[in-house]
Amino acid sequence: MDIHDATKALTLFLRQMDIIRELGMVNRPIPAVSLHVSISAKNGLTSRVDNLDIDKFRSLLLGVRQFLNQNDPINFNTVCNILEQIGIDPKNLAWARAARKNWKRVLQSCPSHYRLSDKILTVEYSFKLYFYGVLFHSDPEIAAEWDELPVDFQNAAIYSIRTALPALCWSLSTVDTIIDTILNHPEREIPDLPACSS
């Protein structure tokens, strides 16, 4: 990738991050959500997600989707690869690597500790189900898979995504700051990455 294409992709990343900031997910406290699960002889296993503004949640997911979509030019991993390739300052590179490590760790985590037969409900799997089975209905097989899931599994998927969003937004915000520094504020001093963050 030449420097012109790299700059174009990084600029698109900044533009998409403007949308995330407008939705209030970066640098603002986010109300905690909770997943309540109960078991009774009468009703069996039931669950609900509390303290979730579903409209704001869906809006945010629309903004985050590009960063998760492997085919998108501003996919988070693609942008991190660009930062690796263009030879950025070692401090910026350390922060970018920490953000990417966090991103991967969060996507593979399972905040709900939920499992249905052989399926572990990772954040990444939850995004896949919710994006392509609920929000976009773009994959008939995934939409059918979502519809066949017990409501408890669906609630756990929503909980997993919502619980992961602050950590994913930290990674996005960190890379956003690095890109903004490189493209718009090269005089900005980036602090050293604390030893426990890498």
Q: Domain limits of the chain?
A: 3-197
Residue 156 has pLDDT above 90, yes or no: no
**Residue 27 burial (CB count, 10 A):** 9
In tens, the pLDDT along 55-89 reads 777 877 888 888 999 888 899 999 999 999 998 99
Instruction: Give the whole-angstrom CA distance, residue 142 versus residue 114.
Output: 18
Share of the chain above pLDDT 70, in %: 83
- The tens digit of pLDDT for each residue in 8-24 reads 999 999 999 988 887 76
Looking at the chain, the whole-number percentage of residues with pLDDT higher than 90 is 41
Per-residue pLDDT for 120 more than 90?
no
Question: Half-sphere exposure of 59 toward its Cβ, with a 13 Å CA cutoff?
Answer: 12
Cβ pair 34, 110 in contact under 8 A: no
Query: What does the pLDDT average to over 171-188?
Result: 93
For residue 101, what pLDDT is reported? 97
Residues 6+ apart with CB under 8 A from 14: 176, 179, 180, 183
Is residue 159 within 8 Å of 112, Cβ to Cβ?
yes
